[in-house]
């Protein structure tokens, strides 16, 4: 039952993330992704994929803060440094607190979500939806690999559909703004 609930939450998260890239503004992309990250955090936790759970919880908080970008100046480099420290801290926690075996394959696997988080963080610093989508593509690719390894069905589908959604939005929306 736990597995079914976890995978169902992953599918709900997937829907939020897929539709996020079809939004015309960066702010709306972030708002949709806020809910996706919350549901993914719970899903990953239930699947014992702790780095995914922790980083999605951080992403939820980050999205809230970036929705208030003008007021909080979250596009300031200090925010970037602070969040990157949190991402790296979560990475270290996986091997120290959660007891993940410290091997080269595990180092590589657990670093993938960190790379995705940094890419998304960079995306949120921009006001142009087309730039957000490009960084989102990098993030989606590394998360897809992690999700396949974690066997997170909803998350796998999310990133696969998300990649397709990004390409559709690039063709549909970004081409128009470039002209």
From residue 125, give the alpha-carbon distance in Å to each of 69, 121, 147, 158.
8, 7, 25, 23
Residue 176 has pLDDT above 70, yes or no: no
- Number of domains forming the structure of the chain: 1
Please state the pTM of the whole predicted model.
0.75
Q: How many CB atoms lie within 10 A of CB 177?
A: 10
pLDDT at position 39, please?
93
DSSP string, 102-136: --HHHHHHHHHHHHHHHHHHHHHT-S-HHHHHHHH
77-99 per-position pLDDT tens digit: 888 899 889 988 988 888 888 77
pLDDT at position 115, please?
93
Residue 2 has pLDDT above 80, yes or no: yes
pLDDT at position 97, please?
84
Residues spanned by the domain of 134: 2-178
Instruction: For residues 147 and 44, give the distance between their C-alpha atoms in angstroms, rounded to a whole number.
Output: 9
Per-residue DSSP letter, 99: -
The answer to whether 152 and 9 are in contact (CB under 8 A) is no
Question: What percent of the chain has a predicted confidence (pLDDT) above 70?
Answer: 98
33-76 per-position pLDDT tens digit: 899 999 989 998 998 888 778 888 988 998 898 888 888 887 78
Instruction: For residues 118 and 83, give the distance between their C-alpha atoms in angstroms, rounded to a whole number.
Output: 8
């Amino acid at each position: 039952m736990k597995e079914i609930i976890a995978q169902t939450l992953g599918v709900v998260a997937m829907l939020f993330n897929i539709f996020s890239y079809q939004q015309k503004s960066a702010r709306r992309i972030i708002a949709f992704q806020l809910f996706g990250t919350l549901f993914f955090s719970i899903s990953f936790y239930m699947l014992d994929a702790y780095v995914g759970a922790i980083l999605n919880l951080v992403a939820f908080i980050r999205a809230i803060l970036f929705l208030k970008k003008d007021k909080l100046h979250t596009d300031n480099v200090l925010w970037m440094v602070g969040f990157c420290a949190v991402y790296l801290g979560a990475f270290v926690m996986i091997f120290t607190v959660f007891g993940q075996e410290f091997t080269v394959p595990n180092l590589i696997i657990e670093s993938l979500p960190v790379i995705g988080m940094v890419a998304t963080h960079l995306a949120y610093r921009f006001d142009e939806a087309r730039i957000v989508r490009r960084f989102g593509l990098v993030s989606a690719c590394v998360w897809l690999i992690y999700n396949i390894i974690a066997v997170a069905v909803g998350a796998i589908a999310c990133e696969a559909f998300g990649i397709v959604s990004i390409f559709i939005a690039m063709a549909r929306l970004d081409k128009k703004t470039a002209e």
